[in-house]
Amino acid sequence: MNSHPPPNYEHIDDQMVKMEVNLDDISGEWLGYVMDILFESGANDVFYTPIFMKKNRPGVLLQLLCSKKNINQMKEILLKETTTLGIRYYPLTVHRMERQFIKVQTEWGKVTVKQGLSDGEVFQSSPEYEDCKEIAKRHNIPLKKVYEQVWRALAEH
Amino acid sequence: MNSHPPPNYEHIDDQMVKMEVNLDDISGEWLGYVMDILFESGANDVFYTPIFMKKNRPGVLLQLLCSKKNINQMKEILLKETTTLGIRYYPLTVHRMERQFIKVQTEWGKVTVKQGLSDGEVFQSSPEYEDCKEIAKRHNIPLKKVYEQVWRALAEH
Amino acid sequence: MNSHPPPNYEHIDDQMVKMEVNLDDISGEWLGYVMDILFESGANDVFYTPIFMKKNRPGVLLQLLCSKKNINQMKEILLKETTTLGIRYYPLTVHRMERQFIKVQTEWGKVTVKQGLSDGEVFQSSPEYEDCKEIAKRHNIPLKKVYEQVWRALAEH
Amino acid sequence: MNSHPPPNYEHIDDQMVKMEVNLDDISGEWLGYVMDILFESGANDVFYTPIFMKKNRPGVLLQLLCSKKNINQMKEILLKETTTLGIRYYPLTVHRMERQFIKVQTEWGKVTVKQGLSDGEVFQSSPEYEDCKEIAKRHNIPLKKVYEQVWRALAEH
Amino acid sequence: MNSHPPPNYEHIDDQMVKMEVNLDDISGEWLGYVMDILFESGANDVFYTPIFMKKNRPGVLLQLLCSKKNINQMKEILLKETTTLGIRYYPLTVHRMERQFIKVQTEWGKVTVKQGLSDGEVFQSSPEYEDCKEIAKRHNIPLKKVYEQVWRALAEH
Amino acid sequence: MNSHPPPNYEHIDDQMVKMEVNLDDISGEWLGYVMDILFESGANDVFYTPIFMKKNRPGVLLQLLCSKKNINQMKEILLKETTTLGIRYYPLTVHRMERQFIKVQTEWGKVTVKQGLSDGEVFQSSPEYEDCKEIAKRHNIPLKKVYEQVWRALAEH
């Protein structure tokens, strides 16, 4: 992977694009794979929307966000891994919050919490899913219980 | 086509089933075709819903309504025309309104209106789409204008 | 409204039905209204799914849950307020948790929390949306902050 | 609310933006609230689309339309009321029809109809939903019947 | 129809726009018609997405792609054939593959295959749906079987 | 996991149920996890549909298929891992094709192909996704190319 994740301080990024492809001749099975490949290759986000296309076709709109310098790399993957004959894109601006990572304690160990700040104030506190999932699996407890303990720890933080 | 459309008088039909198939390895292009074939072969209705399947796959849920006596015929089409390895179904009851067809006059000619009645009272009055479309195309006028004239004629009916 | 909400103790209800209607000739505007009317008239739940119907039509599948004794009342509303000519339904079983309501304290006042229990154990604790919304509006604070305080109070409960 | 609705004459507005946020860690309950708040705070439109996100997550794409001068206010609400760590946006052009409001008579009272005009010609005639709903509720009649009378009155207008 | 299809060689087209309309007061029946009309009038693509709009309305987002020189023509159709009071649009860039058409032999006759090339290399080989459908109908065989023979022929090509 | 996969010969299974839960107070993040857990615990299938719920809430309909003997186990997971207060279910019949597994040769090694048969005739031939994915990853080639070789091998089979 040769992508550079965006920096952690609050900033306005005006070097981003959204790329879009309409697909009506590819299976869902392949699309699950394509999403993984695009993320691994530096897409900032990838997501699918169901769309109604001509001739009664239930199709899929693939959307991805990447920085301008990654356009060609994304195009190459879309060309190789999907069935598309055309790729469209347009620039957009992204306002990203400052991000910081803190650790909170649960009875099963520490969990990372990603926080989103603007002007130095914390607005979001989001327990890291992979940490919580790992605890839930290892201790055979509901994921819900893990999150509840993290929220409690955050409340007392 | 060997299906028998349901009768036009109000009745409760307890001989219907819904059949369902989950599809994640077929393209939208084929599904547009499958819908047509199922209707031609006697399905009372066919429709698709986007579903989120395992491994990040955007899939499609095919649902169709048919009478019990058509189950085997529908199975055969699903088997031949889709990629499924299993078909599920369950019985349901359908309350159908009485249906009658009237003609109303527009400046471009007559249009059939399908009416739905219950206990002899008219509840629905639905201009026949194909009639309206044919007029719109022939006279090169918006479909909307054709419907508006039909509604006006119905109001004065 | 003449519906009877289900009792609060844990039970299996085998007197429920799901009713379904496919709609391709009604606007979203009307459907927003229909949902309200159905709830007011005793539907236990009402929800819409986008469906792909014949002739390239983006349609809507209306589903509602009600007890068998309300079938005729629901039919009457669907007949009067939608454009349908047929209504289908099938029985289903519902396992409902025991429900209890507790109050927790926030800095802006008490909030009701609905709890779901099975075999006497609390599995769900769901802050009442209308309580939280009312506080958020009155004090001009984010809804998110109200929920966070409720969760904290629950943790210390 | 400090928004200024667009003027009623036909015009091209090139001062609009679309803002977008992808959400996979927020409940539908909160999103219903967020939509209301955004409208109250001057968004011209707000709508949600279901999206398929990574790790099998059914997410939601929030899209809103606002004028450039409202960007910061919208950002603030999204920051406070949702769980997002980033907000993207891009400019777009809006062609708005001329709008005029007329009154038509039904047997239950007058109803406002919003009309859309281009080059002075009426293309759209849309009964005001809130007027029709109010009549339907007050007189306990189907909403459908109210619209039908408005359409008839428009036809004779 | 007065549209000019894009050329067959690989190119970057920066004269395209996406137009969008949100619709909550139109039926699916009309929307099926609108799609056809837009394609016939030179839209490069048209598709619908289900959206959640205010007041619990299941609405539809119409998106279409066209070249800048067709904007006015598309606006006119949207104005006449839908219920919208506003149309939004923004420019985008489209990278189109080189396209070439080859014929392959099946036991039921020749089928056209559209190929997509980039830098002279073939990336996509897509059997023409209408050819395959015509064969399937004429010979009363599953569409799937026709595609399988085309794929086999391509493999041996 | 204590589930027993259905047998490989063609049969009608009348011991299946569909379970359904409507969710409007859970995030997509958790739902991705819940799907995995349900599959691991013996669900035959699990899938999500976007639904429009009351109060403008974009919700999710969880549907799962399991055999009757697994109902209680599925209930327990839904209770622990989601936020639901009720679970509904109804019986359905599943017609399953005979399944057999063959191996075909590609230049990168053998790939398993799952075949679906009815009355002894092969209707479906579906390359195993995990095999193809593994080859694509190991050899750094498009997944599409792997499938194409498998189809070719099947054609010559």
C25-73 pLDDT, tens digit per residue, is 999 999 999 999 999 999 999 999 999 999 999 999 999 999 999 999 9
Find all residues with CB under 8 Å of C32, minimum gap 6, and list them: E55, E56, E57
Structure tokens at B90: 């369950």
* A58 CB neighbour count, 10 Å cutoff: 28
**Contact yes or no for F57/D28 (Cβ under 8 A):** yes
Look at residue F2 and tell me whether its pLDDT is greater than 50. no
Contact: F85, C114; criterion CB under 8 Å = yes
Q: Which of B36, B41, B60, B133 to mutate to test the interface with E (most CBs of E within 10 A)?
A: B133
Please give the sequence-ordered ranges of beta strands (E in DSSP) within A24-85, or none if there are none: 45-53, 57-67
F-side interface with C, Cβ within 8 Å?
A: 20, 22, 25, 49-55, 59, 61, 75, 79-80, 83-90
**pLDDT digits 0-9 by tens, E25-63:** 999 999 999 999 999 999 999 999 999 999 999 999 999
F144–A29 CB contact, under 8 Å = no
pLDDT at residue B5 tops 80: no
Interface contact flag, D88 A16, Cβ < 8 Å: yes
The whole-number pLDDT of residue E5 equals 75
Residues C140-149: tens digit of each pLDDT: 999 999 999 9
pTM of the predicted structure, to 2 decimals:
0.96
Residue entry with tokens 């007197």: C15
Q: Is residue C7's pLDDT more than 60?
A: yes
CA distance E27 to E15: 32
E111: helix, strand or coil = strand
* D50, D55, D155 ranked by CB distance to B151: nearest: D155
- Lowest mean pLDDT segment, chosen from B6-10, C13-17, E89-93: B6-10
- Compute the average pLDDT of residues C62-85: 97
pLDDT at position F65 over 90: yes
- Which residues in chain A are closer than 8 Å to F136, comparing Cβ atoms? 33
* Average pLDDT of chain E, as a whole number: 95
What is the predicted pLDDT for the residue at E1? 43
Question: Is the pLDDT reported for residue F5 higher than 90?
Answer: no
Q: How far is B109 from chain C (nearest CA, A)?
A: 22
pLDDT at position D6, please?
82
Contact criterion met (CB < 8 Å) for A56 and B50: no
Min distance A154 CA to chain C CA atoms (Å): 9
Whether E152 and F151 lie within 8 Å, measured CB to CB: yes
pLDDT at D3: 56
Q: What is the pLDDT of residue E113?
A: 97
**Residues of C whose CB is below 8 A from D133:** 33
User: From the candidates A23, A27, A54, which should be mutated to test the interface with E, based on the most E CB atoms within 10 A?
Assistant: A54
Q: What is the pLDDT of residues E22-33, one digit of tens each?
A: 999 999 999 999
CA nearest neighbour of E76 among B136, A55, B135, D95? D95
| DSSP code for D99 | E
Rounded to whole angstroms, the Cα distance separating E4 from E70 reads 10
E122: number of CA atoms within 13 Å, CB side?
12
pLDDT-derived band at D29 (thresholds 50, 70, 90) equals very high
Residue F67 to chain D, least CA–CA distance (Å):
24
Euclidean distance between CA atoms F125 and F32, whole angstroms: 29
pLDDT tens digits for range B105-142: 999 999 999 999 999 999 999 999 999 999 999 999 99
Give the confidence band of F1 by pLDDT, cuts at 50, 70, 90. very low
Domains of chain B: 13-96 (3.30.70.1380), 98-156 (3.10.20.300)
- Is the pLDDT confidence value at B156 over 60? yes
> Can you list the pairs that B69-76 forms with residues at least 24 positions away whose Cβ atoms lie under 8 Å?
B69/B15, B70/B3, B70/B41, B70/B42, B70/B43, B71/B17, B71/B19, B73/B2, B73/B41, B73/B42, B74/B19, B74/B38, B74/B41, B74/B42, B74/B43, B75/B19, B75/F95
The DSSP code for A105 is E
Strands (DSSP E) found in chain D: 11-23, 45-53, 57-67, 86-96, 98-106, 109-118, 121-127
Strand partners, B65: B18, B45
pLDDT (0 to 100) of residue A41: 96
Question: Could you give the CA distance from residue C15 to residue C92 in angstroms, rounded to a whole number?
Answer: 7
* Nearest-neighbour CA in chain E from F58: distance (Å): 7
CA distances from residue F57 to B5, B144, C2, C32, D87 in whole angstroms, order as listed: 38, 31, 25, 12, 21
How far B91 CA lies from chain E's nearest CA (Å)? 28
Using alpha carbons, select from B37, B49, B31 the residue that is nearest to residue B74.
B37
Whether the predicted pLDDT of A6 surpasses 90 = no
- The per-residue pLDDT for C155 is 80
pLDDT at B1 exceeding the cut of 60: no
User: Which pLDDT score is estimated for C1?
Assistant: 43
Q: Residue A10 above 60 pLDDT?
A: yes
pLDDT at residue A1 above 60? Answer: no
Structure tokens at B117: 């009645």
**Alpha-carbon torsion angle D77, D78, D81, D85, nearest 10:** -140
pLDDT over threshold 60, residue D83: yes
What is the per-residue pLDDT across E99-131, written as a single tens digit (0 to 9) for each?
Answer: 999 999 999 999 999 999 999 999 999 999 999
Chain F residue with the nearest C-alpha to that of C33: F54
**Residue C3 in this model has a pLDDT that exceeds 70:** no
Tell me the average pLDDT across B76-83: 97
Q: From chain C, pick out residues whose CB is under 8 angstroms from the CB of F54.
A: 35, 39, 46-47
Return the percentage of chain D with pLDDT > 90, whole number: 90
